[in-house]
Amino acid sequence: MPNSDSGLTKGKITVIITALVIMADIITKEIIVSSVSLYERISVLPFLNIVHVQNKGAAFGVFAGLGNKFFIGVAIMAIIFIIVYLVKAPKGLETYALSLVLGGAIGNFIDRVRIGKVTDFIDVFVNDWHWPAFNVADSALTVGIVLFVIATFAADRYIKDKKGTGRYTD
């Protein structure tokens, strides 16, 4: 983790991580759209395919009937909430986690505004069981949420004494 002397402020960290997630998401989706036909499946590893699917719903395609405007509205509210929380969050794991979540939310938001749906392309499977296809933005969202939960539990266990020295409780 960068220290306070590194010049990386919480704002800079947030912008860098968020921008990297958005760029990786846009670039990978453009590669898929331009080189993989819709519903085409390319075997990569015994447990991984590259596919090209369009998702009009939320995670895993659920609630597709609610329409794109609904998901755009939810995304805008989530992005605003994350930014407000980031301003108040301490520098550290929470900043990294929320920056990943923000980048993922913006990445999928861009798809919804541009094409009215989200491009998914990563297909992980075991035998005939396939996890629903996902993308870089979804991955960043998931990793960010897991890190945020870890940071929250770690913060709950951290106690400062009267001297300002901290320690973790059991």
Question: How far apart are the C-alpha atoms of 42 and 152, rounded to whole Å?
Answer: 39
- Which tens digit of pLDDT belongs to each residue from 91-142? 789 999 999 999 999 999 999 999 999 999 999 999 999 999 999 999 999 9
Model pLDDT, residue 2: 47
Size of the chain, expressed as the number of residues it contains:
170
> What is the domain count for the chain?
1
Is 169 inside any structural domain?
no
pLDDT band for position 60 (cuts 50, 70, 90): low
pLDDT averaged over every residue in the chain: 87
Annotated catalytic residue 123: no
- The gap from C-alpha 64 to its chain's centroid, in whole angstroms, comes to 20
Is 118 inside any structural domain?
yes
Is 2 inside any structural domain?
no
- Is residue 164's pLDDT more than 60? no
Which has more confidence, 27 or 92?
A: 27
Q: Which residue has the tokens 């407000």?
A: 84
Is 114 inside any structural domain?
yes
Which has more confidence, 157 or 88?
A: 88
Is 56 inside any structural domain?
yes
Q: State percent of the chain over pLDDT 70.
A: 84
Is 161 inside any structural domain?
no
Contact 74, 118 (CB under 8 A): no
Is 74 inside any structural domain?
yes
With a CB cutoff of 8 Å and minimum separation 6, the contacts of 83 are 102
127: containing domain: 8-156
Catalytic residue among 25, 111, 120, 123: 120
Query: In the structure encoding, which two tokens stand for residue 6, read together?
Result: 């590194």
Annotated catalytic residue 156: no
Model pLDDT, residue 4: 47
- Is residue 46's pLDDT more than 50? yes
Catalytic residue among 25, 138, 161, 170: 138
Is 165 inside any structural domain?
no
